[in-house]
Amino acid sequence: MSKEMSRSGLAGTGPEPYIYGSTGERFIPHRATEGTTMTASLELQMEHMGQRAKSAARTLAAASPAAKTLALRTLAELLRKRGPDMLKVNALDVKAARAANMDAPRLDRLTLTPRIIEDMALACLHVADMPDEVGVIERQWQRPNGLMVGKMRIPLGVIAMIFESRPNVTIDAAILCLKAGDAVILRGGSEAIRSNLALAGLLHEALESAGLPADAVQVVETTDRAAVAALCKLDKYVDVMIPRGGESLVRAVCEAATMPVLKHYMGVCHLYVDEGADLGMALRLARNGKVQRPGVCNALECLLVHQSEAEAFLPKLGETLGGDGVTFRACPRALPLLRPDRAVPAQPGDFGQEFHDLILAVRVVDSLDEALDHIARYGSNHTEVICTNNHANATRFLREADASLTAVNASTRFNDGGQLGLGAEIGISTSKLHSYGAMGVRELTTTKFVALGTGQIRE
């Protein structure tokens, strides 16, 4: 093992692998149960993680709101205090990713900054201040025999999450699961292994300071892809699987998982510029949706423009977004209206494509009906937006466009748990059971029936 790896990457060969921060302290990913070693088979390691998570979930489900709040507030303090160390560890992941020629959008998602660290700390505090959902009886009614029946909100149990690139997801997922009373097993991408393990160390320190089990949050330490397949078979311990990443990852997990899967699927997001729309507003929405962060799932991928607005709008779009470096894949009607040096004819696969880049598909349509038909064919149930001054069209679009978020006169970039007031999100579910859209604390719980009687028996 090289000196650099022993001081800043994975180190140790015993049951407690660790990484070093810049000041020399060790961040310990987890404390293995007695008898577990790093030489155990991968399947056995994953099963042990599942066992520990199941045990921790029982403890966490009964934890007091005060204990969970203390852990979240402590984590916020640790993120601010150890932020510089987290950035130095993350820099090693970024350096390795650059050496491996990682593309710019993924590199952007991988990189931590002081702003992102502060946002994670603020998310901890926001979630800490949210009402505790666990144990709340949210509906209650009385039967003719006097039996009181209600629905109580409870944790899902154990969640396993498989995700790529973004180390801040480690914090977002963990704090939401903690607040919801769920244990979580996190398997991030190999490109972020140092960052994820360092952040896991802070999570464990915060949990233990509040008297909660460190096993409530576990990060898979191996970068072996076989760990994903092993996790997918742990239905004895894992209640829900959440894949968050590219299309191939989500498909692979859905095919392999033996437990229910909440899919964070493709983000093929559309903006439709309606007849009579405010074209200045439409330009701002298009630019924000496409240019601000083109590599994220709520970035704009396709623009639909009503034919009556195309001649006035598309040249402005071409100049403005073309100046930002955007290239266009345009239908025959849109192509001559865009900057010729930035536009090419759209190919069949360009509609319905998640580009993750400064590329925008553009199509001129004749009506709202045609726009809705296009979205129904090519959308991914993620985010759909209409820019309009027509109330009837806005109402119809909200009702008929099938997506986890439909919006009027707002950027696609608002489909995000933090932006929607959830504090953070574990993902955006594009499937409808049991949640649709950004998943915060409430979406990581479910309900059970409870009954209060006075000795009633069934006749």
> Is the pLDDT confidence value at 341 over 80?
yes
- The answer to the question of residue 237 being in a domain is yes
Share of the chain above pLDDT 90, in %: 79
* Long-range CB contacts for residues 109-115, cutoff 8 Å, separation at least 24: 109/164, 109/165, 109/166, 109/295, 109/296, 110/165, 110/166, 110/167, 110/191, 110/192, 110/195, 112/86, 112/87, 112/167, 112/168, 112/195, 113/87, 114/83, 114/87
**Do 28 and 16 form a contact (C-beta atoms < 8 A)?**
yes
- The answer to the question of residue 454 being in a domain is no
Q: Which residue type, as a one-letter code, is found at position 164?
A: E
- 361: pLDDT confidence band, cut at 50, 70 and 90? very high
pLDDT digits (tens, 9 = 90+) for 113-158: 999 999 999 999 999 999 999 999 999 999 999 999 999 999 999 9
Which structural domain range is residue 370 located in? 269-420
Measure the CA–CA gap between 368 and 197, rounded to whole angstroms: 49
- The answer to the question of residue 434 being in a domain is no
- The answer to the question of residue 386 being in a domain is yes
Going by C-alpha positions, the residue among 270, 266, 272, 290 that lies closest to residue 380 is 266
Q: Quick one: average pLDDT of 102-123?
A: 92
Do 127 and 222 reside in the same domain of the chain?
yes
**Do 49 and 185 form a contact (C-beta atoms < 8 A)?**
yes
Do 236 and 311 reside in the same domain of the chain?
no
Q: Quick one: average pLDDT of 332-340?
A: 97
**Do 96 and 191 form a contact (C-beta atoms < 8 A)?**
yes
Last residue of a domain, one of 208, 234, 256: 256
- The answer to the question of residue 238 being in a domain is yes
Which pLDDT belongs to residue 23? 35
User: 136: how many CB neighbours lie within 10 A of its CB?
Assistant: 15
Do 224 and 184 reside in the same domain of the chain?
yes
Which pLDDT belongs to residue 265? 76
Higher pLDDT, 438 or 211: 211
Which pLDDT belongs to residue 38? 41
Do 161 and 304 reside in the same domain of the chain?
no
Do 221 and 296 reside in the same domain of the chain?
no
Do 51 and 198 reside in the same domain of the chain?
yes
By the 10 Å C-beta count (0-12 exposed, 13-18 middle, 19+ buried), 151 is classed as middle
Do 277 and 207 reside in the same domain of the chain?
no
Helix (H, G, I), strand (E, B) or coil at 407: strand
HSE, side-chain direction, 13 A CA sphere, residue 418: 17
Higher pLDDT, 244 or 148: 148
Q: Are strands 383-387 and 269-273 parallel, antiparallel or unpaired?
A: parallel
**Do 338 and 315 form a contact (C-beta atoms < 8 A)?**
yes
0.85 cut: is pTM over it? Answer: no
Tokens of 67: 């204990």
- 427: pLDDT confidence band, cut at 50, 70 and 90? confident
Phi, psi of 431 (to 5 degrees): -105, 160
Last residue of a domain, one of 256, 285, 316: 256
- The answer to the question of residue 79 being in a domain is yes
Which range among 101-115, 299-313, 350-364 shows the weakest confidence by mean pLDDT? 101-115
- 187: pLDDT confidence band, cut at 50, 70 and 90? very high
Phi, psi of 262 (to 5 degrees): -100, 110
Do 50 and 149 reside in the same domain of the chain?
yes
> Is the pLDDT confidence value at 339 over 70?
yes
> Is the pLDDT confidence value at 42 over 80?
yes
Calculate the average pLDDT of the chain: 90
Do 29 and 101 reside in the same domain of the chain?
yes
- The answer to the question of residue 391 being in a domain is yes
> Is the pLDDT confidence value at 74 over 90?
yes
> Is the pLDDT confidence value at 164 over 90?
no
- The answer to the question of residue 399 being in a domain is yes
- 237: pLDDT confidence band, cut at 50, 70 and 90? very high
Do 285 and 377 reside in the same domain of the chain?
yes
What's 290's domain CATH number?
Answer: 3.40.309.10
Do 180 and 284 reside in the same domain of the chain?
no
Which pLDDT belongs to residue 46? 95
> Is the pLDDT confidence value at 18 over 80?
no
Helix (H, G, I), strand (E, B) or coil at 132: coil
Phi, psi of 386 (to 5 degrees): -115, 135
- 40: pLDDT confidence band, cut at 50, 70 and 90? low
> Is the pLDDT confidence value at 37 over 60?
no
Going by C-alpha positions, the residue among 39, 125, 31 that lies closest to residue 75 is 125
Q: Quick one: average pLDDT of 159-167?
A: 90
Which pLDDT belongs to residue 26? 41
HSE, side-chain direction, 13 A CA sphere, residue 85: 23
What's 114's domain CATH number?
Answer: 3.40.605.10
**Structural domains in the chain (count):** 2
User: 140: how many CB neighbours lie within 10 A of its CB?
Assistant: 12
pLDDT digits (tens, 9 = 90+) for 247-282: 788 889 999 999 999 887 789 999 999 999 999 999
Do 207 and 295 reside in the same domain of the chain?
no
- Bridge partner list, 305: 273, 364
Share of the chain above pLDDT 70, in %: 91
